Amino acid sequence: MKVLRIFHGGGVPAYQRRDEELAALGHDVHLLVPKVFRELPTATVALRRNDSIKVTPIGLYGLRRNPFFFYNPFRIAASMLKFRADVIDIHEEPYSLAAMSILIGRSLARSRARVIFRSSQNEYKRYPFPFSAFQSYVFRVSAEAYVPSAQAAEVLRQKNFRRPITVVGNGVAVPKEPRVDSSPADILEVVCVGRLIERKGVQDLVAAVAKCQRHVNLTLVGTGPLESGLRARVAELPSLAGRITFTGAVSIDEAAAIMRRSDVICVPSHELEGWSEQFSRALVEGMANYCVPLVSDSGALPEISGGITEPFRWGNVEDLRLRLDELALSDELKELQNSAHERAVQQYSWEATSLRISEIYERVVQGS
């Protein structure tokens, strides 16, 4: 089956693993990506992992923030006329200029390819014209949608999308080798990966570690505006001496290596008006690397972590401290780590998630 995928983040080689897996399942995949996509904290220049898929960098216009960027519809149409896809997979939000520009290109090419789209939005929002009109049109022409969480599926239902919706989590690489314990049995090694900003709750995690009654070490992977303040806070507290490490920004492979040395991955995100955690790729990557998930109750985090541990109330330092001390004392830590890894294999590996998307392709073409 010929599949044309358009994805603003598709220039990241690690994310092209999705397309490689789809090709391995027998699909002829053509991926359109921006030549350059700027997303904090860096800009991504389109690259291609290998020759199993075709990757074409194209121009991206407008503001580099959803929903205000878009593709050239004539360039999209030219690609559609040349490739003649059976399925067009729009990896853009349905209310966005990007999604609408792709469908304008489809109309210009007079393509009869079946359309599906992906949406991550897990908070219901009303959009003004013309974005509301874009969304209505995308809903009308799309045969199915896929989302990373049941929360996001419910939002699409609230918006009156009445066609099938499949939950497909973000894919991650899952190591096949077993975990090798490296930390002393009486020390709980915790890792937190992401931007050091207030809504991510890292300040709560530092405060909780400072209050822990057991020996808990913390590694903070990432940078952000809170870093200098957090470093100063750690330096002020003798109880935290040698227990909190700041790595700064690291590569995907370096982050995975840190996770492999850790016992727990913590995602202490807050909720804001109109915002809560949609997924957290770092959480799933940690689970894939045998980290026990410890998450707040922000957005989809409890769903993604699968109930392996009880979520704590976001913004509640004492609740988080209790969960950390409980894990530090737990005799079942290894079993929890294995459960986390198995959930990542079954739900979030590139192989499992790509198979679900492949099944969507088969359904929509058979139903045409």
Spatial neighbors of 242 by CB under 8 A, at least 6 apart, are none
Spatial neighbors of 68 by CB under 8 A, at least 6 apart, are 62, 97
pLDDT at 43: 66
Spatial neighbors of 278 by CB under 8 A, at least 6 apart, are 120, 121, 122, 148, 149, 151, 152, 299, 300
Give the model confidence (pLDDT) of 132-148 as tens digits. Answer: 999 999 999 999 999 99
Coil, strand or helix at 26: coil
Domains annotated on the chain, with CATH = 2-171+349-366 (3.40.50.2000), 188-346 (3.40.50.2000)
Give the model confidence (pLDDT) of 296-348 as tens digits. Answer: 999 999 999 999 999 999 999 999 999 999 999 999 999 999 999 999 999 99
pLDDT at 40: 47
Mean pLDDT across 19-40:
90
- How distant, in Å, are the alpha carbons of 21, 42, 54, 98 from that of 59? 26, 18, 17, 12
pLDDT confidence of 292, banded at 50, 70, 90? Answer: very high
Contact by Cβ (8 Å): 356, 22: no
Distance CA 39, CA 184 (A): 39
